[in-house]
Amino acid sequence: MRVLILLSLLGLAFATEDVFLNFAKEFNKSYKDGKDLISRRAIFMNNYEKMVKHNERYEAGLESWAQKVHEDMDLTSAEWMSKRTGGLPLYDEKTEFVDTLDERIVAKLKEMKGTPREFSWTDSGAVTSVKNQAQCGSCAAFSVIGAVESCFNIQRGKVIDDLSEQHILDCAYNHQVSDESGTWGAFGCDGAWPNAYVDWLMGKNYNQIESAYPYTSGSSGQVGSCKASSNGAYTDAWVTGMYNVWYCKESDMENLVMINPVSTSLQATDNWGGYSHGVMDDRMCCDAATDSSCIYNLNHAILVVGFGHDTASGLDYWLIKNSWGSRWGESGYMKLKRGTGHCGVGSLHQTIPHC
């Protein structure tokens, strides 16, 4: 009601820019007062004008991807980055990690003879529905649960679409794996390494189903105490191993993703908020193939579910399942340029579970 009153009072002033009014209505926006509304409108219009210019370049064949109006279009770049990234614990060039190689997956990789030009687990129904992490830095949890769901579907033939992310956020909180060479951990909404969650699940910690353990951190930005129950446990399949490599080659994901969707990390910039369709070639991103420091700029975990070639742009791409809801991108998915370690994708780690 508050936003409707404010919009009515200021409607005449905004009559020529009703794109903002449409945006506020479509995304059910609420602003604390008229000053806040005017400020958000100015931010929105600046972002909107950038989108229009970008799409003009796209239509002229000068860009490989298009933009669209999105729910965060009234945020500044810094605000968007704070909301949508930061899902990895802090690390730098001094951080050391240790590979964990499940020999069953290693054997499968050795048996593979080349890869096709295009492949996607979405074609066989092995990829589960898109979720929304919202206000919590829980991207690693969503990436891992997506990989585990697909693993169950592929390896066991047990179709399960919605295991609980909140379960591992709460119950695996502060779980760490350490040895003489490396340490990695899971810290709830403050970020996590995907392999820490998989390692925790390997300890016969059965997944919980979403209906029994629903996601709450998206609105609160907090994790809670562990509430796992035997009634909510999914026991038809479980995680028995893990293949996790660090400081890897992007191209290695081609064979790995044909075994199971791959949890990995990348550098998301504020360009990503408005991604609509096409192959993302982000000028703000680093390329790991030519920039050795690129892997130290990563801030977001995603799930790679396939790869292909886009004839319109002439670019190869990775097909990525994100955790920003189904209204983002192409129904929650993105095509990201493949072949240069773009945005650092697949260059720091590649992780899949064995089920």
Contact assessment for residue 351 and residue 244, using Cβ atoms and an 8 Å cutoff: yes
Burial of 221-238, coded b for 16+ CB within 10 Å and e otherwise, reads eebeebebeeebbbeebb
Residue with tokens 């929650």, as numbered in its chain: 332
Handedness of CA 117, 123, 126, 127 (dihedral sign): positive
H-type alpha helices, 76-230: 77-84, 103-111, 139-151, 165-171, 194-202, 217-220
pLDDT in tens, the chain (355 residues): 444 444 444 443 444 468 999 999 999 999 999 999 999 999 999 999 999 999 999 999 999 999 999 999 999 999 999 999 988 988 888 888 889 999 999 999 999 988 899 999 999 999 999 999 999 999 999 999 999 999 999 988 878 999 999 999 999 999 987 655 567 799 999 999 999 999 999 988 999 999 999 999 998 989 999 999 999 999 999 999 999 999 999 999 999 999 999 999 999 999 999 999 999 999 999 999 999 999 999 999 999 999 999 999 999 999 999 999 999 999 999 999 999 999 999 999 999 999 9
Catalytic residues: 139, 300, 322
Domains of the chain: 2-63 (no CATH), 87-354 (3.90.70.10)
The closest alpha carbon to 306, from 241, 344, 255, 341, belongs to 255
Contact assessment for residue 301 and residue 88, using Cβ atoms and an 8 Å cutoff: yes
